[in-house]
Amino acid sequence: MKISGKTAVVTGGASGLGEATARRFYAAGANVFVADMNKVNGDALCAELGDRAFCAEVDVTNADSVKAAFDLAMQKFGAIHILVCCAGSGWIGKTVDKNGPHDLGVFKKIVDLNLIGTFDPLRWAAFHMQNNEPNEDGERGVLINTASVAAFDGQMGQVAYAASKSALVGMTLVVARDLARTGIRCCTIAPGTFETPLTSFLAPEAKAHLAEQTPFPKRFGKPDEFASLALQIVENPFLNGETIRLDGAIRMPPK
């Protein structure tokens, strides 16, 4: 799909991987609808980008908020061609520790944010995309989810996070198959260690240790490298139903 002139919705688009994606897509000529809880940052980003960018305060764990966001995106731009889901978070907690079993409420919260908070925007995006005029390939839209290498080699204490991210991997092919007749593609990116607000709280020695575990390049990923892959997925029509690791060949150890 040629991105210029198309409309992209980016959840979690006011910071980190989402912000980098919004910037790169806008530079490539797309309209960008930033959906984020942090409207102050989102508004600042959109003001910097220009009049093809718009921000809405959206809670991806709230069904009414998600539906309203897609209604607003349609009202603002008239169509939705691309969705990149970057909203999410993590948690550290073992299945059982000295204080007892894992907090079930926290587990549900992480699954609600990372899994349901991806599927809800995805289903509404696909609903609107099916009405788009197809291009010469019969394509109407592209859906991109954000998983994690934790989906494949989650570490101790990542049970909630890994469960939610591996579920995204599991649904990718199914969504691609569900929407194939409609001409909507679905792929997932599984980042390794990246420079994001989530990793900014790590101690310098912890970050250095993780960087050293990455075969090459020995550093954290840059958000624009994620955005670059997202753009490639949009522009390459034969990428579909696949989860792509973006991790410098890291394989996470047990802890």
Q: Is residue 28, in this structure, part of any structural domain at all?
A: yes
Instruction: Specify if 253 maps to a domain.
Output: no
Q: Give 203 or 36, the one with higher predicted confidence.
A: 36
25: CB partners within 8 A, 6+ apart: 3, 8, 10, 32, 82, 84, 227, 230, 231
Counted domains in the chain:
1
On the question of pLDDT at 197 being above 80, the answer is no
The answer to whether 26 is a known catalytic residue is no
Looking at per-residue pLDDT, the higher value among 95 and 173 belongs to 173
Above 70 in pLDDT, residue 200? no
Task: Check 161, 194, 220, 226 and give the catalytic one.
Answer: 161
Please report whether residue 216 resides in a domain.
Answer: yes
pLDDT band, residue 92 (cuts 50/70/90): confident
Query: Does residue 70 lie within any of the structural domains?
Result: yes
DSSP letters, 66-125, are HHHHHHHHHHHHS---EEEE-------B-SEETTEEPPHHHHHHHHIIIIIHHHHHHHHH
Q: Write the DSSP string, 123-137.
A: HHHHHHHTTSPP-TT
195 contacts 248 by C-beta, under 8 angstroms: no
8-state DSSP, 15: S
Residue 1 has pLDDT above 80, yes or no: yes
The answer to whether residue 183 is domain-embedded is: yes
C-beta separation of 124 from 60 below 8 A: no
Predicted pLDDT of residue 182 = 97
| Distance separating alpha carbons of residues 57 and 42, to the nearest angstrom | 8
Please give the C-alpha separations between residue 92 and each of 45, 141, 157, in angstroms, as whole numbers.
30, 35, 5
pLDDT recorded at residue 211: 85
What is the distance between the alpha carbons of residues 207 and 188, in angstroms, rounded to a whole number?
25
- Give me the mean pLDDT over the 13-18 stretch: 96
Residue 158 structural domain: 7-246
> Which tokens in the block code for residue 35?
């959906």
In a domain, 251, yes or no: no
120-140 pLDDT, tens digit each: 999 999 999 999 999 999 999
Reading the block at residue 215, the tokens are 């075969």
Q: How far is CA 126 from each of CA 3, 45, 123, rounded to the nearest angstrom? A: 17, 26, 5
**198, pLDDT greater than 80:** no
Burial class (CB in 10 A: 0-12, 13-18, 19+), 149: buried
Above 90 in pLDDT, residue 75?
Answer: yes
Q: Using 50, 70 and 90 to split pLDDT, how confident is the model at 212? A: confident
pLDDT above 70: residue 188: yes
199 pLDDT more than 80 = no
CA dihedral 60, 156, 150, 57 (to 10 degrees): 20
Predicted model pTM: 0.94
Determine the pLDDT at residue 151: 95
More reliable by pLDDT, 98 or 228: 228
User: What are the tens digits of pLDDT across the range 216-229?
Assistant: 999 999 999 999 99
Evaluate if residue 253 carries a pLDDT over 70: yes
Give the pLDDT confidence score for residue 209 in this predicted structure.
Answer: 82
Q: Does residue 255 lie in a domain region?
A: no
Query: What's the alpha-carbon Rg for the chain, to the nearest Å?
Result: 18
One-letter amino acid of 40: V
Domain CATH code at residue 12: 3.40.50.720
129, part of any domain: yes
Could you tell me which of 236, 195, 249, 204 has the C-alpha nearest to residue 20?
195
191 pLDDT tier (thresholds 50, 70, 90): very high
The CA distance from 71 to 108, in Å, is 27
